[in-house]
Copies of this chain bind each other. A is one copy, B any other.
Amino acid sequence: MSDLRERLVAVVGAEHVLDGTASPELAHDEALAVGHGTPAVVVRPGSTADVVGIVDAARATHTALVARGAGTGLSGGANAPDGAVVVAFDRMTAIRAIDTTDHVAVVEPGVSLAQLDAAAREHGLTYPVRPGEQSASLGGTVATNAGGMHAVRYGVTRAHVVGLEAVLADGTVVRTGGRLAKVSAGYDLTQLLVGSEGTLALVTEVTVRLQPHLPVRRTVLAPFADLPTTTAAVARVVGSGLAPALCEYLDDPTMDAICAAADLALGVPDEVRAGADAYLVVELVGRRAERVEEDLAELGELLTDAGAPDVYVLPEGSARRLVEAREQAFWTIKARGADEVVDVVVPRSAMAEFIGRSREIGERHGTRVLGCGHAGDGNVHFAVFGPGGDGHAAALDATLHEVLAAGVALGGAVSGEHGVGRAKAGALAELADPGALTTMRRVRAALDPDGLLNPGCGPV
């Protein structure tokens, strides 16, 4: 331990090596139901060379390394085991380039989504990944392959990352991809590292695509009487060619909760609300107002034709506040005492079935399974509330396990965008395709034979 500290001090200086017991808030992310230990130290590299030195020190002392971005993750991917080194990237916050010819940004991993998007917007460009927390770091969102509301149009983080610099467990620095729109020159290590949650390498630089900013946006709200009708409408919206920038569903209790939390009235008459089991929120974007208006009319007809009793075009202020409130849904449901959140992804065609089965699972165990989700992507976000009392933990565990299993049985996966972390490592090991798991384990062992990188997280 003192050996470890000495080595790290030699790399980054004493002021950037914090005692692990002194910074408990740096030992975990925002996951609700995952424990964490007490790290030996928190170390704050300022450069790629620092990261190489940190990896070398960890290897020499057989110490686990846990990378940490902004700590906004929801799966415990940044939760430190006892005695680990937390590598906090909060000093590496430089935007190295915004390139308006190649339409890319090159950033250090500690740069936040808000910081990057603001820099891009100065050039008429945008980084459209919106996982709900604009304070999230680029490094963290690369680690979890973060998604969010705009993924239905722009894709998840994976779709935007075109190059990485990273440090392997043996200290090798790897450069993948580049300021390139495409590449077919060997295995795509960029894509292998995106979503690997710090288990294969520590990312030290990220190159992402930027998109032209589309200035016009209009939002509609459509109530539906039941879930199958809601999700059938989603397929029509996605298949229409209207290319919505978001296509979210919210069940009625969740809509209530976020409207209450945001003090928001949406102008939906009481009798319509009374008959609504779920809502779709769809946003259209474009370069020209008249086209977006025209598309909005088409979207309204499509939604009515798909079964919505009426469609409400939201005034700009209400639309913005509703989207913000939806982004903050995690905090709302956390404040209301949710015990866990899950973000199972299923084929769009299976969404209604999955939500229905999950509600039944909750009823059977006396738990409540409520939610919203990125309907365009089949990505369902549930808040799960245990019954309280003696059977609380058992009912909660059973519900979570059965909900994840139901998603996988319907052709889905245990996480659409939050990542596996420590929260779902056991579920992945149990539920994922056995051949795929074997392959993941072989890749992990090949790149980190001593198991230094984020042990217990991801495919174990």
Tell me the A residues contacting B by CB distance below 8 Å.
99-103, 124-125, 144-147, 151-152, 155-156, 158-159, 168, 172-176, 178-189, 191-192, 194-196, 200, 212, 214, 232, 235, 238-241, 287, 291, 345-349, 374, 376-379, 411-420, 424, 428, 432-433, 435-440, 442-447, 458-459
On chain B, the residues within 8 Å of A186 by CB distance are 195, 420, 428, 432, 436-437, 440, 458-459
On chain B, the residues within 8 Å of A437 by CB distance are 186
Give CA–CA (A151, B419) in the complex, Å.
28
Q: Of the candidates B158, B187, B415, which one forms a contact with A200 in the assembled complex, judged by CB atoms under 8 Å apart?
A: B187
Contact B172 A439 (CB under 8 A): yes
Give CA–CA (A176, B196) in the complex, Å.
15
Give CA–CA (A447, B144) in the complex, Å.
24
Contact B235 A100 (CB under 8 A): yes
Give CA–CA (A386, B174) in the complex, Å.
36
On chain B, the residues within 8 Å of A101 by CB distance are 232, 235, 347-349
On chain B, the residues within 8 Å of A413 by CB distance are 178, 180, 183-185
On chain B, the residues within 8 Å of A239 by CB distance are 100, 103, 124-125, 212
A202 to chain B, nearest CB (A): 13
A308 to chain B, nearest CB (A): 18
Contact B287 A241 (CB under 8 A): yes
Extra contacts besides A102-B235, A186-B195 (15): CB < 8 Å: A102-B348, A145-B184, A168-B435, A174-B439, A178-B412, A180-B378, A180-B416, A181-B348, A181-B379, A184-B420, A186-B436, A187-B459, A189-B439, A191-B191, A443-B447
On chain B, the residues within 8 Å of A345 by CB distance are 180-183
Q: Of the candidates B124, B184, B187, B420, which one forms a contact with A156 in the assembled complex, judged by CB atoms under 8 Å apart?
A: B184
On chain B, the residues within 8 Å of A155 by CB distance are 159, 182
On chain B, the residues within 8 Å of A412 by CB distance are 178, 180
By Cβ-Cβ distance, the 9 closest A-B pairs, closest first, are: A191-B191, A446-B446, A174-B435, A212-B241, A101-B349, A181-B377, A179-B347, A185-B413, A145-B184
6 contacts between A and B (CB under 8 A): A173-B435, A180-B347, A186-B420, A186-B459, A187-B443, A291-B291
Contact B346 A180 (CB under 8 A): yes
On chain B, the residues within 8 Å of A176 by CB distance are 433, 436
Q: Of the candidates B188, B194, B287, which one forms a contact with A194 in the assembled complex, judged by CB atoms under 8 Å apart?
A: B188
